[in-house]
Amino acid sequence: MSKWVKSESVVTSTDDSSSSIAVSPKPGGPLRPRLDAVQKRIEGQTVRLEALQSSMKVRDDETFRKLMASIKESNAQYSTVLSMELAKARQVSRVVSIAKVALEKIHARLASVSDFGDLVIVLSPAMAVVKNVRSSLVPFVPEMEEELGIISELLSGILVDAGQVGGYTINFETANEEAARLIDEASSVIEQKMKEELPGIPDLPMVPKVV
């Protein structure tokens, strides 16, 4: 049985705090089934985010229609409220969409892993991406905090076991740079998509101040 299939070692990273991830000791186990399990969890979260995207798009369309109607009726106060509501909703939609694309990228990379070297190279930035997604998403979608935390822990456990068994050094600085690049790519994709698919929020006429 190959090392790729069988891994029983459990280690804890002890590098300096700026470039390490502390991992609580956990039972070791075959790496491939653990990798498959975390992929399924990531899949589950992307499906969840896709459903959230759809419901937010419906609300966006409805709010935009109300906004255009209120502008047509010269209801300045209601138009202002709707405009602010729409802008805030789109900010949340942007965060949700970036999180979904980022997780999809990580899932695709995990699916392409074939050996220990690939695993360590892919998992290091994957952990950083999940942490980023979690911190940006949870303020708006708090119900996803627990599952993203579990995914992060699972990735961490697989990473340190793979690094130990395969004899690979984990470069966290490089991993963080790669994670930032992945998030930037996801952001660019979503920014462009939102520009193409969502109508711009119209400028509102100045509301005269009451003296």
What is the rounded distance in angstroms from the CA atom of residue 38 to the CA atom of residue 41? 5
For the chain, what is the largest distance between any 2 Cα atoms, rounded to a whole number of angstroms? 83
Q: What does the pLDDT read at residue 144?
A: 94
Q: What is the pLDDT of residues 18-68, one digit of tens each?
A: 333 333 334 456 788 899 999 999 999 999 999 999 999 999 999 999 999
Structure tokens at 172: 């966290």
| Three-state DSSP class for residue 15 | coil
**pLDDT value, residue 211:** 41
* Continuous H helices in the chain: 31-72, 76-111, 116-137, 145-166, 172-197
Q: Where do the domains of the chain lie?
A: 28-197
Spans of the chain below 50 pLDDT:
1-27, 208-211
d(CA 16, CA 200): 47
162/160 Cα distance (integer angstroms): 5
- Whole-angstrom distance, CA of residue 64 vs CA of residue 96: 19
With contact defined as beta carbons under 8 Å apart, do 82 and 63 qualify? yes
The pLDDT value recorded for residue 161 is: 85
